[in-house]
């Protein structure tokens, strides 16, 4: 926040602008994986750029949450509680199915 405040940039950071920037930066993360599933040495090669893009995503998300009064840590904890309900271990372990596909599988 200090970086942004020192430069008086918060005046340009409406929720809309921050959400757009967040999406664009997330797209730049995705772009690094566009043509291949990078692992091992291939991943090591892009790691410096990947770290920069992930930092940009985190920065815009932090600004957005601060400006909207969202406690990011609390929001993540609450979402994980919801996810635990949606994806119980006994139905979802080792499965990539969406929660709507898991419903009814545990019933006999």
* pLDDT number for residue 40: 85
Catalogue all structural domains in the chain, each as residue range(s) with its CATH number: 1-70 (1.10.287.1080), 71-101 (no CATH)
pLDDT above 90 as % of the chain: 77
Contacts of 10 (CB under 8 A, 6+ apart): 4, 63, 67
Q: Give the C-alpha separation, 14 to 68, whole Å.
A: 10
Mean pLDDT score, 54-78: 98
Mean pLDDT score, 87-106: 84
Whole-model pTM: value is: 0.83
Mean pLDDT score, 66-89: 96
| pLDDT tens readout for residues 13-38 | 999 999 999 999 999 999 999 888 88
């Amino acid at each position: 926040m200090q970086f942004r405040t020192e430069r008086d940039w918060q005046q340009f950071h409406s929720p809309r602008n921050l959400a757009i920037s967040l999406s664009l930066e997330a797209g730049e993360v995705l772009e690094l994986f566009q043509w291949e599933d990078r692992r091992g040495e291939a991943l090591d090669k892009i790691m410096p750029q990947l770290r920069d893009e992930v930092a940009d995503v985190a920065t815009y998300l932090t600004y957005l949450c601060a400006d909207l009064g969202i406690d990011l840590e609390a929001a993540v904890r609450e979402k994980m509680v919801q996810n635990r309900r949606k994806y119980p271990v006994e139905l979802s372990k080792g499965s990539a199915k969406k929660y709507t596909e898991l419903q009814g599988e545990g019933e006999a």
